[in-house]
């Protein structure tokens, strides 16, 4: 219980700090006044522009943390991560198509749908390659993931070069690829919140089966799990989560890797506590990373994906080193 209160408290503090942070800093007092309904221009900017962005960052982080925990559970591999396994790369290809190809559907609908199709397709492809190669283990999955991610990256670059013209600038796609939270309307926030809660609820339904998968294929089967079906369902759910995160936040690397690890230190490896804890940790991490992205080099904004990669890269190297040693 203390851990949960601590996590929620940290998230609230992170949101408060991030709401104050920016090219021009607000004081906690300013924030308080704005929350109480102060009608001044500065307060309204805080409420209508900065706070939605901060909350969106927290929700994208929660989705990434949750998605990472599901992927690690499915692949039974602490190095599994949406970005390493190609699903984010697939989502990016889908999103690039949505941004650049003039299709007769509204982009707000097209982007999440194509991102989902891309994420799911890429993950199944990686899983399939590893299965065919007979190596559904850490090394096999990472190699297949790296290969698929590279191909998808090249495909995305090609699409960007081939399809962009004066009407859709490369800049839009590029800034999106590097990761950055879109500032949504409060309407969009509600949609994002509903998505995050639905994803969490859905994933909690198969939390127990993820636990059993962690016992290995044989014991999971012996304990009554239809492993193929669970893996397929969980990959589907994980892809939907990654697609939602990608649709609202672009490509934000390493959060899905780091958040479940931190959460595992706090609440242990069982998925019922791990899934919500990973979401909370992810929310805290991305909220703070987004604040750094906005406030570090004013008036410019650093792409969020760069901030998380700079912080997350060394974390990944550390994990890899520790794993190789054992």
Task: Identify which of residues 33 and 208 has a Cβ nearer to another protein in the complex.
Answer: 208
Residue 216 engages another protein in binding (rule: CB under 8 A): yes
Q: Which range in 89-97, 187-195, 267-275, 296-304 contacts another protein by CB under 8 A?
A: 267-275
Residue 273 engages another protein in binding (rule: CB under 8 A): no
Residue 226 engages another protein in binding (rule: CB under 8 A): yes
Q: Which range in 101-109, 224-232, 240-248, 288-296 contacts another protein by CB under 8 A?
A: 224-232
Is the Cα torsion angle 297, 298, 299, 304 positive or negative in sign?
positive
Interface pattern 110-139 for another protein (x via CB under 8 A): ------------------------------
How far CA 323 is from CA of 26, 75, 202, in Å, comes to 43, 16, 31
CA–CA dist 53, 58 (Å, integer)? 9
The gap from C-alpha 152 to its chain's centroid, in whole angstroms, comes to 18
Interface pattern 33-72 for another protein (x via CB under 8 A): ----------------------------------------
Tokens, residue 279: 């979401």
Tokens, residue 30: 């300013």
Residue 223 engages another protein in binding (rule: CB under 8 A): yes
Q: Least separation, in Å, of the C-beta of 205 and another protein? A: 14
Residue 222 engages another protein in binding (rule: CB under 8 A): yes
Binding another protein by CB under 8 A: which of 66, 211, 249, 307?
211
Task: Identify which of residues 28 and 268 has a Cβ nearer to another protein in the complex.
Answer: 268
Q: Which range in 31-39, 159-167, 210-218, 287-295 contacts another protein by CB under 8 A?
A: 210-218
DSSP H stretches of helix in the chain:
2-20, 28-35, 41-45, 51-75, 87-100, 107-132, 138-163, 170-177, 186-205, 207-213, 217-222, 227-249, 255-267, 271-295, 304-325
Residue 261 engages another protein in binding (rule: CB under 8 A): no
Task: Identify which of residues 243 and 281 has a Cβ nearer to another protein in the complex.
Answer: 281
Task: Identify which of residues 188 and 269 has a Cβ nearer to another protein in the complex.
Answer: 269
User: How many residues touch another protein (CB under 8 A)?
Assistant: 20
Residue 77 engages another protein in binding (rule: CB under 8 A): yes
Q: Least separation, in Å, of the C-beta of 17 and another protein? A: 33
Torsion of CA 38, 44, 48, 51, to 10 degrees: -70
Task: Give yes or no for a contact between 209 and 28, defined as CB atoms under 8 angstroms apart.
Answer: no
With vertex at residue 79, the alpha carbon angle to CA 173 and CA 321, rounded to the nearest 5 degrees, is 115
Residue 156 engages another protein in binding (rule: CB under 8 A): no
Is the Cα torsion angle 215, 216, 217, 222 positive or negative in sign?
negative
Residues 6+ apart with CB under 8 A from 157: none
Residues contributing to the site for another protein (CB under 8 A):
76-77, 208, 211-212, 214-216, 218-219, 221-226, 264, 268-270
């Amino acid at each position: 219980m203390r851990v949960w209160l601590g996590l929620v408290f940290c998230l609230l503090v992170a949101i408060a700090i991030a709401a104050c942070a920016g090219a021009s800093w607000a004081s906690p007092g300013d924030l308080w006044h704005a929350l109480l309904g102060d009608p001044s221009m500065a307060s309204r900017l805080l409420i209508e522009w900065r706070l939605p962005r901060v909350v969106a960052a927290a929700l994208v982080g929660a989705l990434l943390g949750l998605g990472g925990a599901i992927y690690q559970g499915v692949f039974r591999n602490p190095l599994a991560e949406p970005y390493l396994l190609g699903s984010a790369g697939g989502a990016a290809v889908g999103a690039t198509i949505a941004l650049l190809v003039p299709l007769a559907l509204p982009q707000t609908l097209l982007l999440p749908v194509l991102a989902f199709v891309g994420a799911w397709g890429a993950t199944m492809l990686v899983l399939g390659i590893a299965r065919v190669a007979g190596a559904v283990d850490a090394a096999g999955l990472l190699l297949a993931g790296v290969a698929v991610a590279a191909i998808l990256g090249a495909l995305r670059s090609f699409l960007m070069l081939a399809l962009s013209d004066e009407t859709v600038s490369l800049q839009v796609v590029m800034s999106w690829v590097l990761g950055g939270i879109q500032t949504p309307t409060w309407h969009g926030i509600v949609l994002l919140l509903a998505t995050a809660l639905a994803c969490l609820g859905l994933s909690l339904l198969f939390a127990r089966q993820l636990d059993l998968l962690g016992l290995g294929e044989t014991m999971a089967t012996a304990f009554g799990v239809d492993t193929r079906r669970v893996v397929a369902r969980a990959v589907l759910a994980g892809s939907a989560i990654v697609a939602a995160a990608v649709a609202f936040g672009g490509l934000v690397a390493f959060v899905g890797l780091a958040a479940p690890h931190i959460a595992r230190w706090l609440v242990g490896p069982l998925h019922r506590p791990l899934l919500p804890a990973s979401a909370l940790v992810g929310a805290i991490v991305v909220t703070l990373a987004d604040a750094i992205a906005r406030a570090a080099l004013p008036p410019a904004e650093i792409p969020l994906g760069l901030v998380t990669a700079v912080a997350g890269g060394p974390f990944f190297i550390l994990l890899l080193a520790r794993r190789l040693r054992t």
